């Protein structure tokens, strides 16, 4: 059935001093013959990350320190790894060295197989195994036998989990989650299980952002593009120096980056490929929960968005909002987004899909339009998919044109010129509506009804007299210990945050 074409083992020692100048060690191996599948098994003496680069220089996957036995075949692969041709030439295994490790030895077993032509295809066998696998949660049931897990395709046809409904929504506000994980990295759900959950929570879109891989997007290709919810292909570039989400991505980016210049090159490359870059959970206080989560290079600019709200608000998000606000004050236009960072779980867990929810105004419901809406700042964030529901319009006095978050209003600095704000807030009774500029909290208004409508006027002079380079108005809804403090605390109750309307002063 399967014919072994080659087999060999490589071994080596990674000395602790290597970490002073690199985080990765490459181990090369030759694929000298035509094969349909390669199988790799790494046995390290320490915690070490594990990835594969093919002979064309394409990153084919990342197993981190969770998956040390993997296969890659033409039409299927272990979760976290991308199927495709096994092209002859020099392949490489990437070994990422844990920061706390000393000297580390390893052995790497490599096998190449060819399918005999007179029997059922290799893909058919794996497809059969995948149908058998659906009877269990394999990561829970047989996780101790990683060889079995790695030889089973997690290519779940989404029709088995999700009766895909076509949608043709255009020109409106769409809600979604921009930070999720599946079994393609360290999540507990398959792609299709995650999509089914997203639909049950009323989400219109979901971004798949597994760590240092795009294999989840390959699986999501089984979903119709106009399905509900739609899938935004993404990845979370995961380094020891911070994490970055890239949306609307094709191939896996090179995540072997360390310096400020490395991150700037990554951002430039993403933009050349029409992708969107968002800095994740940048707060240094996240280090207690996740040592490599804080974004170290705070002087980097050029990214499109910042995840100012990761999971529940109280998990160290205040510093992220402060950094974003300061970047706006500098004069940069960077979009604030949220993401649950959902890894799977049950009702009652701290992290839930769609908490927070990122709302995006888009011309239509498709990945490119959602990304375009985020780039333009047509975004606000709520703590749940249905709470609160907000609608806020901005107008210049005497004009009919309506502006929304992300737009720019040109004004003079006369006291008589007024920016009118009409806010409608639902499901946030007994909270506080705050109108915030670059330097101060301009207004605090108690939300007294379940359906609350409020009209407010801010003079152009109030905004244009401020000394900051960036001038803007943004809105928050929450419960505050000190509602006049510019940036809320982690222990405040945050319900909604909008992106700013930018103010151009003549």
Q: What is the CA radius of gyration of the chain?
A: 25
pLDDT at 152: 45
Q: Where in the chain is the domain with CATH 2.60.120.380?
A: 2-117
Q: Is residue 474 exposed (0-12), middle (13-18) or buried (19+ Cβ within 10 Å)?
A: buried
Q: Where in the chain is the domain with CATH 2.60.40.10?
A: 388-506
In eight-state DSSP terms, residue 384 is B
pLDDT at 100: 72
Intervals of the chain under pLDDT 70: 1, 101, 117-168, 222-227, 413-415
Give the predicted TM-score (pTM) of the model. 0.91
pLDDT at 356: 98
CA distances from 207 to 31, 280, 308 (A): 35, 13, 17
Q: Give backbone dihedrals phi and psi of 173, rounded to 5 degrees, phi first.
A: -90, 130
Helix and strand totals (H; E) in the chain: 9, 26
pLDDT at 146: 42
Q: Look at the domain 2-117 and name its fold.
A: Jelly Rolls (2.60.120)
Q: Where in the chain is the domain with CATH 3.20.20.140?
A: 167-386
The residues near 249 (Cβ < 8 Å, ≥ 6 apart) are 214, 217, 233, 234, 235, 270, 273, 275
Burial 146-168 (b: 16+ CB within 10 A, else e): beebbbbbbbbebeebbebeebe
Q: What is the pLDDT of residues 6-59, one digit of tens each?
A: 999 999 999 988 988 999 999 999 998 999 999 999 999 999 999 999 999 999
What would be the CATH architecture of the domain defined by 167-386? Alpha-Beta Barrel (3.20)
Q: What is the pLDDT of residues 111-162, one digit of tens each?
A: 999 987 654 555 555 554 454 444 334 444 444 444 444 444 444 445 444 4
SS3 102: coil
* DSSP bridge partners of 408: 502
3-state SS string for 127-163: HHHHHHHCCCCHHHHCCCCHHHHHCCCCCCCHHHCCC
Q: Which CATH class is domain 388-506?
A: mainly beta
Round to whole Å and give the CA distance between 455 and 436: 15
CA distances from 51 to 11, 70, 349 (A): 16, 10, 31
């Amino acid at each position: 059935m399967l014919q072994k074409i080659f087999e060999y083992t490589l071994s080596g020692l990674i000395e602790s001093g290597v970490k002073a100048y690199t985080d990765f060690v490459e181990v090369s191996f030759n694929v000298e013959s035509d094969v349909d599948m390669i199988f790799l098994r790494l046995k390290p003496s320490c915690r070490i990350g594990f990835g594969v680069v093919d002979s064309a220089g394409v990153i084919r996957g990342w197993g981190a320190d969770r998956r040390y036995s993997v296969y890659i075949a033409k039409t299927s692969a272990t979760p976290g790894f991308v199927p495709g041709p096994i092209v002859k030439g020099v392949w490489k295994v990437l070994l990422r060295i844990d920061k706390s490790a000393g000297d580390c030895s390893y052995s790497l077993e490599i096998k190449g197989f060819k399918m005999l032509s007179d029997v059922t295809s290799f893909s058919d066998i794996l497809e059969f195994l995948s149908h058998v696998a659906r009877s269990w949660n394999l990561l829970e049931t047989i996780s101790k036998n990683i060889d079995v897990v790695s030889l089973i395709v997690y290519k779940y046809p989404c029709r088995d989990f999700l009766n895909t409904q076509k949608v043709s929504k255009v020109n409106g506000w769409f809600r979604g989650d921009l930070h999720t994980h599946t079994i393609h990295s360290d999540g507990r759900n398959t792609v299709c299980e995650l999509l089914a959950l997203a639909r049950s929570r009323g989400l219109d879109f979901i971004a798949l952002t597994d760590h240092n891989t795009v294999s989840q997007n390959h699986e999501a290709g089984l979903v119709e593009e106009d399905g509900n919810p739609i899938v935004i292909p993404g990845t979370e570039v995961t380094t020891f120096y911070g994490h970055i989400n890239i949306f609307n991505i094709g191939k896996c980016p090179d995540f072997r980056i360390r310096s400020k210049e490395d991150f700037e090159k990554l951002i430039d490359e993403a933009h050349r490929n029409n992708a969107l870059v968002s800095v994740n959970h940048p707060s240094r206080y996240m280090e207690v929960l996740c040592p490599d989560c804080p974004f170290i290079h705070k002087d980097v600019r050029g990214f499109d968005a910042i995840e100012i709200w990761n999971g529940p608000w109280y998990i160290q998000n205040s510093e992220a909002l402060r950094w974003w606000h300061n970047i706006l004050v500098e004069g940069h236009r960077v979009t604030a987004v949220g993401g649950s960072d959902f890894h799977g779980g049950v009702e009652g867990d701290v992290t839930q899909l769609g908490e927070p929810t990122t709302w995006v105004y888009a011309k239509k419901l498709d990945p490119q339009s959602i990304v375009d809406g985020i780039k333009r700042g047509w975004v606000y964030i709520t703590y749940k998919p249905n709470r609160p529901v907000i609608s806020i319009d901005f107008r210049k006095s005497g004009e009919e044109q309506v502006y929304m978050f992300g737009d720019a209003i040109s004004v003079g600095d006369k006291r008589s010129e007024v920016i009118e704000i009409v806010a409608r807030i639902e499901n946030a009774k007994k909270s506080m509506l705050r109108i915030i500029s670059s330097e101060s909290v301009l207004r605090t208004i108690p939300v007294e009804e379940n359906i609350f409508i409020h009209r407010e006027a801010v003079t152009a002079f109030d905004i244009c007299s401020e000394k900051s380079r960036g001038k803007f108005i943004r809105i928050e809804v929450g419960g505050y210990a000190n509602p006049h403090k510019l940036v809320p605390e982690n222990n405040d109750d945050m319900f909604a945050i909008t992106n700013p309307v930018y103010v151009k002063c003549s």
